[in-house]
Chain A
Amino acid sequence: MLRYVTLKVGRALFVVWAAFTLTFVLLFVLPVNPVDLLFDPAEINTIPPEVRKQVAENYGFDDPVIVQYLDRLGHALTGDFGNSVQSGRPVTAAILDVLPSTLVLASGALVLALLIAFVIALVATSTRHAWVRNLVEALPSGSVSVPVFLSGILILQIFSFRLSWFPAFGGEGARSLVLPLITLAIPVSGPIAQLLVRSFATEFHSGYVTTSWAKGATRGGIIIRDVFRNASLPAFTIAGITFGNLIAGSVITETVFARKGIGRMTQIAINTLDVPLVQGVVVLVAVSFALINLIVDLIYPLLDPRLRATLAISIPQAATGGLR
């Protein structure tokens, strides 16, 4: 068990380190003169050489690359990614400022997407009518094929401008969260729903379900007691991977709905070539991605006793079980 946890934590740390290193190479090593990136492209020619030299010194660009790298890595470990070029504020503070609103949006969307996916899978499995099943099973592919910016604008048109149920812009209050949540959750729910529908159908026709029928269980009981847990296991894996997409997807959603958040901040940072900020965001996304997947990996053994058994230190039964 300890070995498993160490392995998974190690993998998560590696992902974050690799993201940091990669962005360092891309942003600080590869450009011919990283100092250029620190200034607004429009004003770059008006900057006097002394200032440039001063800045280069401040940022340590004169040092050998390896020293720069270790220096930045050391600072990053303490949570210091330098200062934003645009605002001059510390990157960490700038990110922490907008992080909560994106986190709420992303995790809310993930929960909503899972909810939608589970409802689709449950309806498709429990219905006795073929046409209901066909209809419901067609939803996921439909939801994937509509791009976020289109569905976002459509939802805005209907619920905000026509019906005036929810505010169109801004990040104040719970009501302003509803439309962005839906917009972000719908495309993400598609693949999860597709996977769940399939795994529910497979599990529903497995041997232990027949045993349950023979016990005298009813259809609803079987789906809840037997099928649900076995069939939802794969959804966790995909949910963890999807979380990365959600943060990426928040760029568009936050732009369409004019919310503050990581997505919009990233967009602005890239537009203005705010290198330290971009690096901070990349590392942050890597951290959240690694963290979510670590949690999924650690929850798995709790849900599946078979996995737990292969992890336990001494397991004579599993050894003989492997023989059969």
Chain B
Amino acid sequence: MTDAATVTSEVTDSPGKEPREEREPLLRISDLAIDYRTGRRRWTPAVRGAGLHVAPGEFVSLVGESGSGKTTLVQGALGLLPISARIRAGSIAYSGVDVTGWNDRRMALVRGNYVGFIPQDPNTSLNPVKRIGQQVIEAVRFNDPDAGDAARHREAALESLRTAGLKDAERVFQQYPHELSGGMKQRALIAIALAGKPKIIVADEPTSALDVTVQKVILDHLVGLREELGIGILLVTHDLGVALDRSDRILVMQDGEIVEEGPVGQVLESATNDYTRRLLDAAPARHIGRLEPTSGARPVPAAASAVLEARALTKTYHLRGRGRQRELRALDATGLVVRKGTTHAIVGESGAGKSTLASILAGFTSADSGTVHVGDRELTGLRRGQLREIRRDLQFVFQNPFTSLDPRFTVSKIIAEPLVAFGSVTGKRERTARVVELLKAVALDESYLHRLPSQLSGGQRQRVAIARALALRPEILVLDEAVSSLDVSVQAQILQLLVDLQAEFGLSYVFVTHDLGVVRLISDDVTVMKDGAVVETGPVEQVFRSPRHEYTRELLEAIPGARLAPAGAN
């Protein structure tokens, strides 16, 4: 009990300690090294001597790709490291109080009270069986020095919900997490983080599970909170664009080390580190026009004929139960034309119906009405056997390369599977030759033939998935969010690969994505969807330069990384 009391007085500001508080930043991490246990006596470093500090009222972003150790660093700062991790060296101090190595009980007094945390995925970060109000009240109660008084806690929780931007706080208070949208859940989590009246908020990828337009609102709100409450914010993100738009200072992390640090302007103009420059160059917003194939400029497909055409597709899902409100119109008279040798992007936020459209185009789902033509053959209404023939010409690449490859198949077996299934290449030697040829096409060599998917990186897996799709020499590839789960630098490589393959084989792409930034890099035409209907369609240049629909404009404005755009563009 006395222990707890001293901790509280140490960490929370008492008048006697104000001079030190002014000198010391809210959070200072110095030379922190964190290892993960990978064997009996083996430790693998995840964070290697990283340091950072956040001053009051400052918005600091920590940028890094997956595996850079940014999340481990934040977990270390909050004392939330998994058991398999240990802090080998360095220190973590909040307002000059060194909390390194504090046990859970003492850290509990720092967390919530002094540092608030906004987690990555709002969909799993709220207790599903508790009302929102209850969860916010807990956050208030844990951090209230004089316990008791339930009415005051309730009032504080409601206030916190309102501060987090939930106008209808009373209603949300009574609701369960599953009754809220992703954006509202993230706001509830912000309310929880604010409920303890912290001095600093640490946000770990708070918007990567949200739609762009929602992301913009949430991030704007965080910036507002910093100004309104004078708190410090440490934002962890993989998205350089997001970081550049709002931060005062940026830190770039690679392989457990901070490789670049400085104010936004300085990083943008004169990044000293190679990796930072690579990240900057890889950001989609950096590029003005479409990517050019490495083999040279490609012929402009001016009046190419339609290779895939969808007309008036309608699809309604019947949700469980009866009643009219149980119907969900996923597609409403949606049409699409893909010209030969070009890329047609389908853009929209979650629930826009773009994945439904993609799977109807690929023949995985059947439409209620409407037609799909591949070349001059009609896809809709085909029997299974005939559909199979169409698959030679039309292949699909899935979103997640970590689940779309059989973990027990070798790379060579994965790529050869369509060849075997369609019997198009007979003989073992010919088949292996074709697989090697395909691997070369996606810039991998023969050494990958006998590897398992688990031995490949995310980018390599997606290359294998693309090679598999190309095995039957299709004319059309349907790519459903094919680069969304990849790091920016890997994403840039895959996009370049797709552009090169298109130039080489004259492929046509249907490119489904939620990311408008990527669209500009790869597409010739774009269709913007919302709530199952086409909002706007046309050549990319035209749609991006002068969007006709309000929603398109909203989406375009929400693309992070406006500051990344090279001078002269737009």
**A145 on interface, CB distance cutoff 8 Å:** no
Measured between C-beta atoms, what is the minimum distance from B513 to chain A in Å?
17
Considering the complex, which residues of chain B in the window 179-211 have a beta carbon less than 8 Å from any beta carbon of chain A?
Answer: 179-182, 189, 192-193, 195-196
Of A217, A309, A313, which is within 8 A of B178 by CB? Answer: A309
From A227, which residue of chain B is reached at the shortest CB distance?
A: B127
Complex interface: chain B residues within 8 A of A64 (CB): none
Considering the complex, which residues of chain B in the window 99-121 have a beta carbon less than 8 Å from any beta carbon of chain A?
Answer: 104-105, 108-113, 115-117, 119-121
B178 x A319 contact (CB < 8 A): no
Measured between C-beta atoms, what is the minimum distance from A259 to chain B in Å?
40
Complex Cα distance, B119 from A316, in Å, reads: 27
Measured between C-beta atoms, what is the minimum distance from A178 to chain B in Å?
35
Considering the complex, which residues of chain B in the window 499-533 have a beta carbon less than 8 Å from any beta carbon of chain A?
Answer: none
**B350 on interface, CB distance cutoff 8 Å:** yes
B321 x A214 contact (CB < 8 A): no
Complex Cα distance, B121 from A208, in Å, reads: 10
B129 x A317 contact (CB < 8 A): no
Of B105, B182, B192, which is within 8 A of A211 by CB? Answer: B192
**A162 on interface, CB distance cutoff 8 Å:** no
B121 x A207 contact (CB < 8 A): yes
Complex Cα distance, B135 from A323, in Å, reads: 25
26 contacts between A and B (CB under 8 A): A208-B124, A208-B128, A210-B80, A210-B117, A211-B117, A211-B126, A211-B135, A212-B127, A215-B112, A215-B142, A215-B192, A216-B112, A217-B112, A217-B138, A229-B129, A230-B127, A305-B178, A306-B129, A310-B320, A317-B180, A318-B179, A319-B319, A321-B181, A322-B319, A324-B123, A324-B350
Complex Cα distance, B35 from A279, in Å, reads: 65
**B323 on interface, CB distance cutoff 8 Å:** yes
Most buried by B among A213, A219, A229: A213
Question: Known contacts being A211-B126, A211-B192, A306-B176, is A216 close to B351, with CB within 8 Å?
Answer: no
Complex Cα distance, B319 from A99, in Å, reads: 45
Complex Cα distance, B105 from A317, in Å, reads: 39
Complex interface: chain B residues within 8 A of A321 (CB): 178-179, 181
A215 x B195 contact (CB < 8 A): yes
**A206 on interface, CB distance cutoff 8 Å:** yes
Measured between C-beta atoms, what is the minimum distance from A99 to chain B in Å?
36
Q: Mark B310-336, 1 if CB is under 8 A from A, else 0.
A: 000000000111010110100000000
From B129, which residue of chain A is reached at the shortest CB distance?
A: A229
Count class of interface residues, chain A: 35 or more
DSSP class of A's interface residues: helix, strand, loop or mixed?
A: helix
**A6 on interface, CB distance cutoff 8 Å:** no
**Nearest 8 CB-CB pairings of A with B:** A216-B112, A214-B117, A207-B124, A207-B125, A216-B142, A323-B351, A215-B139, A305-B176
**A46 on interface, CB distance cutoff 8 Å:** no
From A306, which residue of chain B is reached at the shortest CB distance?
A: B178
Q: Mark B16-54, 1 if CB is under 8 A from A, else 0.
A: 000000000000000000000000000000000000000
Binding site for A on B (CB under 8 A): 78, 80, 104-105, 108-113, 115-117, 119-121, 123-130, 135, 138-139, 142-143, 176, 178-182, 189, 192-193, 195-196, 319-321, 323, 325-326, 328, 350-351
Most buried by B among A211, A219, A317: A211
Measured between C-beta atoms, what is the minimum distance from A6 to chain B in Å?
13
Complex Cα distance, B119 from A3, in Å, reads: 38
B129 x A219 contact (CB < 8 A): no
Measured between C-beta atoms, what is the minimum distance from B123 to chain A in Å?
8
Measured between C-beta atoms, what is the minimum distance from A165 to chain B in Å?
41
A320 x B351 contact (CB < 8 A): yes
Complex Cα distance, B119 from A212, in Å, reads: 11
Binding site for B on A (CB under 8 A): 3, 206-208, 210-219, 225-226, 229-230, 303-306, 309-310, 313-324
Complex Cα distance, B142 from A213, in Å, reads: 11
Complex interface: chain A residues within 8 A of B179 (CB): 309, 317-318, 321
B127 x A214 contact (CB < 8 A): no
B111 x A214 contact (CB < 8 A): yes
Question: Known contacts being A215-B195, A216-B109, is A319 close to B128, with CB within 8 Å?
Answer: no
Complex Cα distance, B326 from A320, in Å, reads: 10
Given known contacts A3-B321, A211-B119, what 8 new A-B pairs fall within 8 Å (CB)? A208-B125, A208-B126, A208-B127, A215-B195, A216-B196, A317-B180, A319-B325, A322-B328
B181 x A324 contact (CB < 8 A): yes
From B131, which residue of chain A is reached at the shortest CB distance?
A: A305
Question: Known contacts being A215-B139, A219-B104, A316-B325, is A323 close to B129, with CB within 8 Å?
Answer: no
Measured between C-beta atoms, what is the minimum distance from A80 to chain B in Å?
40
From B193, which residue of chain A is reached at the shortest CB distance?
A: A214
Complex interface: chain B residues within 8 A of A210 (CB): 80, 117, 119, 125
Complex interface: chain B residues within 8 A of A230 (CB): 127-129
A218 x B196 contact (CB < 8 A): no
Complex Cα distance, B321 from A315, in Å, reads: 11
Of A217, A314, A315, A323, which is within 8 A of B142 by CB? Answer: A217
Complex interface: chain A residues within 8 A of B135 (CB): 211
Complex Cα distance, B138 from A309, in Å, reads: 24
Complex Cα distance, B162 from A316, in Å, reads: 24
Question: Known contacts being A3-B321, A314-B323, A319-B325, is A216 close to B125, with CB within 8 Å?
Answer: no
Complex interface: chain B residues within 8 A of A306 (CB): 128-129, 176, 178
Of A216, A226, A322, which is within 8 A of B143 by CB? Answer: A216
Complex Cα distance, B178 from A11, in Å, reads: 29
Complex interface: chain B residues within 8 A of A310 (CB): 320
Complex interface: chain A residues within 8 A of B111 (CB): 213-216
Measured between C-beta atoms, what is the minimum distance from B164 to chain A in Å?
14
Complex interface: chain B residues within 8 A of A313 (CB): 321, 323
Measured between C-beta atoms, what is the minimum distance from A51 to chain B in Å?
60
Complex interface: chain A residues within 8 A of B117 (CB): 210-211, 214
Complex interface: chain A residues within 8 A of B128 (CB): 208, 230, 304-306
B350 x A323 contact (CB < 8 A): yes
Complex Cα distance, B191 from A211, in Å, reads: 12
Complex interface: chain A residues within 8 A of B123 (CB): 324
B129 x A304 contact (CB < 8 A): yes
A213 x B323 contact (CB < 8 A): no
B80 x A314 contact (CB < 8 A): no
Complex interface: chain A residues within 8 A of B319 (CB): 319, 322
Complex interface: chain B residues within 8 A of A229 (CB): 129
